[in-house]
Amino acid sequence: MAKKLEIIQLGNPILRETAAPVAVVEDKSLQNLIKALIQITVQHQGVGIAAPQVSQSLRLMVIASHPTPRYPQAPLLEPTAMINPRLTAQGEAKEKSWEGCLSIPGIRGLVPRYTEIFIEYTNVNNQICHQKLTGFIARIFQHEYDHLNGIVFLDRVENTKEMITELEYRKLFS
């Protein structure tokens, strides 16, 4: 039986590595990893997760936007696996908004992100997909894409005064 995947936390060196490209999309272990990532995201009320967050240094992420206690205004998007994703272009506008991370529990930060991006990725059926993402979905993509490049959201916070605990965040924004 396969070992159950666990979310690693800040300090684990895998979170600071550049993830390796996925070579074979049809590989059964990759397909099982995708299913596990979707399950973990749902179980932890996340809106996305990248493979490095479960100690798998691969260029794979899942976006699964839906309203949660942490993101009550999140739009609904069926879980989407993105294999070897690339950010191909972005608009000029950026917006700061609060982010948290399953690998950095208990802390949030104001992070500037592009509000409009253009991406390319391979889907689970080995098809190349091109999309324009905006707003919160674009933010999720950029957050998870950073994980594939060894970057965490705290690296993007411009001022430590723009960090807050989850408890204080909930008091302010619930």
pTM comes to 0.95
**Per-residue pLDDT, 68:** 81
**Per-residue pLDDT, 93:** 97
**Per-residue pLDDT, 122:** 98
Closest to 46 (Cα-Cα) out of 99, 9, 117? 99
Cβ–Cβ under 8 Å, residues 15 and 103: yes
**Per-residue pLDDT, 170:** 87
Phi, psi (rounded to 5 degrees) for 106: 85, -5
- Distant-in-sequence, close-in-space partners of 53: CB < 8 Å, separation ≥ 6: 7, 8, 15, 102, 103, 147
Counted residue by residue, the chain has a size of 174
Which amino acid does the sequence have at 118?
A: F
Cβ–Cβ under 8 Å, residues 150 and 15: yes
Residue 121 CB coordination number (10 Å): 23
**CATH code matching the domain that covers 13-173, chosen among 3.90.45.10, 1.10.10.10, 3.40.190.10, 1.20.210.10:** 3.90.45.10
DSSP state for residue 76 in the 8-state scheme: P
Local mean pLDDT, 10-residue blocks, the chain (174 residues):
81 98 96 96 93 98 89 90 98 96 96 98 97 97 98 97 94 81
**Per-residue pLDDT, 143:** 98
Q: Which residues are catalytic?
A: 144
**Per-residue pLDDT, 1:** 36
